[in-house]
Amino acid sequence: MSQLFDTVALIGIGLIGSSISHATRRAGLARRIVGAAKTEATRATALRLGLVDEVFANPADAVKEADLVILCVPVRACGPVAAEISKSLKPGAILTDVGSVKGSVVADVGPHVPAGVHFVPGHPIAGTEHSGPEAGFAELFDGRWCVLTPPPGADNAAVDRLRSYWKGLGSNVEIMAPDHHDMVLAITSHVPHLIAFNIVNTAAHLERVTESEVIKFSAGGFRDFTRIAASDPTMWRDVFLTNRTAMIEMLGRFTEDLLHLQRAMRFGDGETLFRMITEARHIRRGIIEAGQDTAAPDFGRHQGGSAAPATGQKS
Amino acid sequence: MSQLFDTVALIGIGLIGSSISHATRRAGLARRIVGAAKTEATRATALRLGLVDEVFANPADAVKEADLVILCVPVRACGPVAAEISKSLKPGAILTDVGSVKGSVVADVGPHVPAGVHFVPGHPIAGTEHSGPEAGFAELFDGRWCVLTPPPGADNAAVDRLRSYWKGLGSNVEIMAPDHHDMVLAITSHVPHLIAFNIVNTAAHLERVTESEVIKFSAGGFRDFTRIAASDPTMWRDVFLTNRTAMIEMLGRFTEDLLHLQRAMRFGDGETLFRMITEARHIRRGIIEAGQDTAAPDFGRHQGGSAAPATGQKS
């Protein structure tokens, strides 16, 4: 892949920002990567790991020479950061983000985008349960999808260039309207996370089963929920607050379906339960066939201990 | 480990039965393993893979010379199988099972156990999302817990021998009352599975998001639920029907907690959401420290494709 940008600015250097850096360097997509991070610790780590060539405390300083600016901060931080950098953005630059909710980013960032800067919101659908600049790795986006939600009348050349960049990072790219993106992500990501956080907390507050029993016997399925539930609190709080309309709609369906199954259990309706279980397996096969997961038996986790760690990943 | 039994009979040769065979041979715990399976296909596979030295269609034929008989069939099949083998069990033999619900197994199997046979129900808390005789591997039980629920007045020597056997298979062993086991497993395994099956079905039946979108964008968290939801339908239907009392109690708590979070979202209560997410991470750390999961970043699945398959596992 050839160089697409001279200078890329990463505003926020956590799991996603650091992975973008690794993947940008892997493919040689930029001559120079600069970054901004709020804490001194993150700035030091980013320099030490070579994630950025230069790092700033103030995002406005980082964006001055950048032809691509990527907001890699929690969703509700995007608006305030956009206000801070607004006057420093270079004419002709592309401004994008990686937020999991697009409607709120469009609403919060849009008003701060100066004329001559191309705002193309984005969302790479990839992640791990780890956070921070040391959690990133170059392969995170390989074979995953990145959704771009360009506003009506967006500059085609800018959209195409950002699309090429994400392809260079390893992703497939899809264009979508922000509202539809938020609906799709509510069911494929946001509600599953809320449910995972919720059941972990339900388990922690039972009177008849102790927390140490929950931990000890978690291999029966529960630990898979705790893995999702290990994700970053600020990021997820922001998602839950900004995508609440779509999520509450999906949660209504989820609860209705769950009560239906609970009733089938209560009245011994094995046929309904069997049919529901069988249908769920069908979707699982689709996901493996689409290359979005592997069929290796993960519950056993018998390979977990010996798996080789990726570059820069937390131990 | 030295030999503990002359002949072990596996009634049912699926994921658990075949894994017991692999682990028994690995540790040299039995001179001979015989088996019974309903279908000709499973019997042929079990012989071909060397899982059993001899295989029978009729469980009663398999148990005649066994000093350890392990029922490895779905929970609701345990009673009928016990009735079939009752008259063929060898005096002094130990009869156990691997069912995920213990109250119903005690109630269904107990009445068929003849005098002189030691009935000690058991449940290895381990598994993968794959089923069948080819899914088993020797390491499945390593470091996991096996719960034994001996009835009041059970023969101590028999319980000790079965405990040694499970330790030989790689497990830790815990003794528990059947009712408490069922309560612990409701929250650590049964409710998580029901929820996983349920959300997969909710996603499949939405009007505003297509099934292909759900599959394509599943890497945001949803695919982890589909992994759990890929498990065996008959086994899980039986669990849901036989442990419904404990499960309905736990589901009541889960739904109450979920509505609490939904309300926090609706009214923009970020503090409640943040606290709940942070608490969930604490439990996750406990599970990793207890050795019941690995901290390797699984969402990224970047190691999935290259992981070495275990013996006899499905590709």
Kindly write down the DSSP assignment for every residue of A96-164, as one continuous string.
EE--S-SHHHHHHHGGGPPTT-EE--EEEE---S--STTS--TTTTTT-EEEE-PPTT--HHHHHHHHH
CB A284 to CB B227 under 8 A?
yes
Q: Is residue A214 part of a domain?
A: yes
- Provide the shortest C-alpha distance from residue A217 to chain B (in Å): 7
My answer on whether A46 and A165 are in the same domain is yes
> How big is the CA angle at A68 (ends A62 and A73), to the nearest 5 degrees?
65
At residue A312, the pLDDT reads 32
| Structure token pair of residue A108 | 């919060």
Domain count, chain B: 2
Chain B residue with CA closest to A294: the answer is B304
Q: Is residue B315 part of a domain?
A: no
CB A299 to CB B215 under 8 A?
no
My answer on whether A105 and A151 are in the same domain is yes
Q: Which of A152, A176, A200 is the last residue of a domain?
A: A176
Q: What is the pLDDT of residues B109-134, one digit of tens each?
A: 999 999 999 999 999 999 888 999 99
At residue A310, the pLDDT reads 32
At residue B231, the pLDDT reads 85
Enclosing domain of residue B231:
180-296
- The per-residue pLDDT string of chain A (315 residues; one tens digit each, 9 = 90 and over) reads 689 999 999 999 999 999 999 999 999 999 999 999 999 999 999 999 999 999 999 999 999 999 999 999 999 999 999 999 999 999 999 999 999 999 999 999 999 999 999 999 999 999 888 999 999 999 999 999 999 999 999 999 999 999 999 999 999 999 999 999 999 999 999 999 999 999 999 999 998 999 999 999 998 889 888 888 888 899 999 999 999 999 999 999 999 999 999 999 999 999 999 999 999 888 888 888 888 888 887 766 654 333 333 333 333
My answer on whether A165 and A225 are in the same domain is no
My answer on whether B215 and B167 are in the same domain is no
Residues of B in contact with A286 (CB under 8 A): 211-212, 215
Q: Which of A176, A197, A215 is the last residue of a domain?
A: A176
Q: Using CB atoms, which residue from A139, A228, A303 is nearest to B302?
A: A139
Q: Which of B176, B206, B224 is the last residue of a domain?
A: B176
Cα(B42)–Cα(B55) distance, integer angstroms: 10
Q: Is residue A261 part of a domain?
A: yes
Close Cβ partners of A235 (under 8 Å, ≥ 6 residues apart): A74, A75, A100, A131
Q: Using CB atoms, which residue from B229, B305, B313 is nearest to A297?
A: B313
Q: Is residue B258 part of a domain?
A: yes
My answer on whether B219 and B257 are in the same domain is yes
Residues of A in contact with B251 (CB under 8 A): 258, 262
Q: Where residue B204 sits, what CATH number does that domain have? A: 1.10.3660.10
Cα(B245)–Cα(A173) distance, integer angstroms: 47
Element of type H or E holding B95: strand B94-97
* DSSP code of residue B188: I
Whole-structure pTM value: 0.89
Report the share of chain B in percent with pLDDT over 90.
Answer: 82
Q: Is residue A255 part of a domain?
A: yes
Chain B residue with CA closest to A182: the answer is B209
- Provide the shortest C-alpha distance from residue A149 to chain B (in Å): 15
Residue A242 amino acid letter:
T
At residue B306, the pLDDT reads 33
My answer on whether B164 and B216 are in the same domain is no
CB-CB neighbours of B272 under 10 Å: 15
Edge-to-edge strands, sheet with A5-11: A54-56, A30-36, A5-11, A68-71, A94-97, A118-119
Residues of B in contact with A198 (CB under 8 A): 254, 257-258, 261, 276
My answer on whether A249 and A287 are in the same domain is yes
My answer on whether B166 and B283 are in the same domain is no
At residue B285, the pLDDT reads 87
Q: Where residue B107 sits, what CATH number does that domain have? A: 3.40.50.720
My answer on whether B76 and B147 are in the same domain is yes
Q: Is residue A51 part of a domain?
A: yes
Q: Is residue A213 part of a domain?
A: yes
My answer on whether B216 and B145 are in the same domain is no
My answer on whether A189 and A279 are in the same domain is yes
What is the phi/psi pair of residue B2, to 5°?
Answer: -100, 165
Close Cβ partners of B274 (under 8 Å, ≥ 6 residues apart): A233, A234, A237
Which residues of chain B register pLDDT less than 50?
303-315
Q: Using CB atoms, which residue from B125, B196, B299 is nearest to A128?
A: B299
Q: Is residue B302 part of a domain?
A: no
My answer on whether B168 and B193 are in the same domain is no
